[in-house]
Structures are given as C-alpha cells and as structure tokens.
Amino acid sequence: MSGFGEKAIRLAARVADGYVSTKPDADAVALYREAGGGDRLTQGGLKACWGPDEAQARTTTHRLRRNEEIGGEATQLLPLPRHYAQPAKLISEDMMTAPCGPDLHVHLGAVRQYAEAGFDEVYMGQVGPDQDGFFEFYAREVLPRLRGG
C-alpha cells in the first residue's frame, strides 16, 4: 500500500502486505516498520529519463511528468486531471528532480537514495520514448554497479 503522511503509513503497517513510496524517505520506512510493518516488503519507485543529451531528457521529463513536482497536499486534493494543469504551469524545467540524461552517477545516486532510506526494492520507469536505450543503459551501466556496491 502506498502512503504519504503518518496516518496513511500507520494504516499501511496495520493492514497491508507491504509499503510503497515514490519518495526516498527513511523516516517513512522506519515508521512503517515500527508501526507494525516489521520485515514486510518496502518498495520505492521513481521515474528517470535516460537519453544521450541531458537537456533534451530534462525537457522530455518536464513535458510529460512535471505534475510529479507539485508539492504539498495539492495532489491529494485536486479533484480532476484538468486541475493539475494549473499548478503544473508553475513548474520549470530546472525544478525537475528525476534523473535525466546519460550521467551514470546521477542515476546511481537516485537509486541509492532509496536503498539508503531502507527500501527493499527500487523500481525505475523511463519517461519518454527511448525505452530500449534506458534498458540497455541500466543493464550495462547501472545495475552492475548497484549489485557490486
């Protein structure tokens, strides 16, 4: 079960088979475990945009996923998809936090934040059309380094 905020995380610890989050929040993982989640699975998920050009990858991420940068409780309160367009207009390309481009260390750092926060598994999703390039990059560059420490 996904949960943001103390009440939701405590509920997940009581009723769910595991905990899922899109934020590398060590306090949330600790709360889940202490509130009854114990050693049940915790999963983190994030988006990335691999591409040979960092600026183009950032533009792609901004075009397709800028609503992920809307902060606070707005994403829980906005009633319709069209309402997301209003605060999304305030998000600039330089505000995007997803790893973008070809820099191995940027992608490694993003995944490691989840591992360091205590998540058992981390799931990545490619933003944009170059799915094959993303999978090749992660298989060849990222995963071997993560497995090796």
Q: Is 54 inside any structural domain? A: yes
Q: Is 31 inside any structural domain? A: no
pLDDT per residue of the chain (149 residues) written in tens, 0 to 9: 998 899 999 999 999 999 999 999 999 999 999 999 999 999 999 999 999 999 999 999 999 999 989 988 888 788 998 898 899 999 999 999 999 999 999 999 999 999 999 999 999 999 999 999 999 999 999 999 999 85
Answer yes or no: pTM beyond 0.85: yes
Q: Is 138 inside any structural domain? A: yes
d(CA 65, CA 47): 9
Q: Is 77 inside any structural domain? A: yes
State the sign of the Cα–Cα–Cα–Cα dihedral 98, 103, 105, 111.
positive
pLDDT score at 148:
82
pLDDT score at 91:
95
pLDDT score at 74:
84
Q: Is 65 inside any structural domain? A: yes
**Which range of residues forms the domain containing residue 110?**
45-147
Q: Is 72 inside any structural domain? A: yes
Q: What residues contact residue 22 under an 8 Å CB cut-off, 6+ apart?
A: 2, 44, 45, 46, 68
Q: Is 85 inside any structural domain? A: yes
Give how many domains the chain has, as a whole number: 1
Q: Is 22 inside any structural domain? A: no
